[in-house]
Chain A
């Protein structure tokens, strides 16, 4: 069986990209991946993606950070054990500031870790199936077809208002998403 051709439809317009994603459902060509330089609810809806659970990582990070900040402040205060201005050693009112700052910091950590884990990043395979313009102003829709359908697929993308890039490089690992 001849090797499949990988093809990237590049769209500068979000609505056209959404139309192309929806239009691909009418054909048997597999939709491997969509690269977008911006978060797009329209694309997420068109792809039927569920809400990302990354918010739970952020919330978890924030809660851990809040208590870490408090505990760190308490621990260091107890280590020095100095009474300042007649205030208690473990004074929860000012420690709230440390707790708050750690909440923000750890929530950001949680968010970044969540994003990396859920996106399974960093990823070093399939880099040849990427176009740097997808980090600029283009939305890229990666699909594949048998060589005899190449022209038909290219025409589909062109009709939807996109450009087409065909990948000639043989692909060893097809990490489809």
Chain B
């Protein structure tokens, strides 16, 4: 008979291998698409997945900084899970740098007359500012993580090499608790500010600019609100999976699921609100160069069907389902709802980017390779998150004296 610890290690290995397999599938699909007749499709799918998976990591991590800043005491375990998404930050940065290779396929405006916009929309400036912005965002996030980990794990004996390395570093830098707490708060506020600014910038540069003659000043805010929405969804999916997995060591109370679900529900409304406030202004203004963007995506085939699917899966369905309190307490139900929303937001990215890449599409430009590339990104994300949780298994443990 196997010892429970052995079973746990075996399960971990199996899970790890599944993630590696997903990454391999994604890589294979990407290279196959790249060598196919339309290599642009591979890079466009790469960009879409970079945006959505980076958004999940950035938005999920924001949860921890928000909870810290507001002094929330209910969310200790959930914050620990949120912090694990920081492991995707370095991967996200590398993925962004890889976009340079596919630049000719992902920026349609390279071939357009930009009528003065070339001051902003030129590749050297775009990649420099966005790389710098991501460096600042991720740097602030990791600085916050370094400090908050000290409060959570500093008093425990280090487990493994990375924790031992951190413990030595903490021994040199973290001496005064009051000062360290203040520094943690400063980094959390700076991360939140950078989150809004950097995601706005990425929204303008990597999504809005694809239709280079269209503009909406609210697009940046819409982008970062959406990232927090799917980030919360990512946390709930991770929490539900770990909660349901035997021997994961993570068990959440129904109240913790309900409260996180309430935030998810709230940001479902905020996301829809940010869509509506852009939409109603465009509707009132009725300026052809602005309305054409909306008309193409909501009233012309094949995009109109997709627009309805996005609206229903991203707002109508979660709104109606999450009105019910009991559903928010059920990990399985929340897993299904959040996955549905994630697929909806994935399709929303396709709706925003697709018409710019395929203006004359007769059918939705969806291929099997798009799904497989997404699976690769899913594998990357899960690999990073589970590696983090294996390195810091105590991050989701109950803090003595915390409100439950």
Contact = CB atoms under 8 A, between A and B. Distances in A.
A122 to B, nearest CB: 30
B12 to A, nearest CB: 39
Contact of A86 (B279, B280, B286, B323): B286
A145 to B, nearest CB: 38
B286 A94 contact: no
Interface string B284-298: 101000000000000
Contacts of A93: 279-280, 283
Given A85-B286, A87-B286, A97-B280, 11 more contacts: A59-B323, A85-B284, A86-B286, A93-B279, A93-B280, A93-B283, A94-B280, A94-B283, A94-B284, A96-B276, A96-B280
Which of under 10, 10 to 19, 20 to 34, or 35 or more describes the interface residues of A?
under 10
A94 B279 CA distance: 10
Contacts of B286: 85-87
CB-CB nearest 3 A-B residue pairs: A93-B283, A93-B280, A94-B280
A31 B280 CA distance: 56
Contacts of A59: 323
Contacts of B279: 93
Contacts of B283: 93-94
Interface in B251-308: 276, 279-280, 283-284, 286
A70 to B, nearest CB: 15
A85 B286 CA distance: 9
B335 to A, nearest CB: 26
Contacts of A97: 280
B269 to A, nearest CB: 10
Contacts of A94: 280, 283-284
Interface residues of B, number: 7
A129 to B, nearest CB: 35
14 contacts: A59-B323, A85-B284, A85-B286, A86-B286, A87-B286, A93-B279, A93-B280, A93-B283, A94-B280, A94-B283, A94-B284, A96-B276, A96-B280, A97-B280
A84 to B, nearest CB: 10
Interface in B149-171: none
A19 B284 CA distance: 61
B56 to A, nearest CB: 29
Nearest to A93: B283
A88 B19 CA distance: 54
Contacts of A85: 284, 286
Interface in A64-95: 85-87, 93-94
Nearest to B286: A85
B76 to A, nearest CB: 20
Interface string A92-120: 01101100000000000000000000000
A84 B279 CA distance: 18
Contacts of A87: 286
A87 B283 CA distance: 9
B218 to A, nearest CB: 16
A86 B283 CA distance: 11
B94 to A, nearest CB: 43
Contacts of A96: 276, 280
Nearest to A59: B323
Contacts of A86: 286
B276 to A, nearest CB: 7
A86 B286 CA distance: 10
A104 B280 CA distance: 20
A86 B280 CA distance: 15
A136 B391 CA distance: 50
Nearest to A84: B284
A176 B276 CA distance: 51
B403 to A, nearest CB: 14
Contacts of B323: 59
A87 B280 CA distance: 13
Contacts of B284: 85, 94
Contacts of B280: 93-94, 96-97
A93 B294 CA distance: 14
A64 B286 CA distance: 31
A85 B291 CA distance: 15
B197 to A, nearest CB: 29
A59 B283 CA distance: 30
B279 to A, nearest CB: 7
Interface in A130-146: none
Interface string B16-45: 000000000000000000000000000000
A91 B276 CA distance: 15
A93 B282 CA distance: 11
A29 B403 CA distance: 35
A96 B284 CA distance: 13
A165 to B, nearest CB: 33
A44 to B, nearest CB: 15
Candidate in A59, A93, A96, A97 with the most chain B CB atoms within 10 angstroms: A93
B277 to A, nearest CB: 10
A77 to B, nearest CB: 15
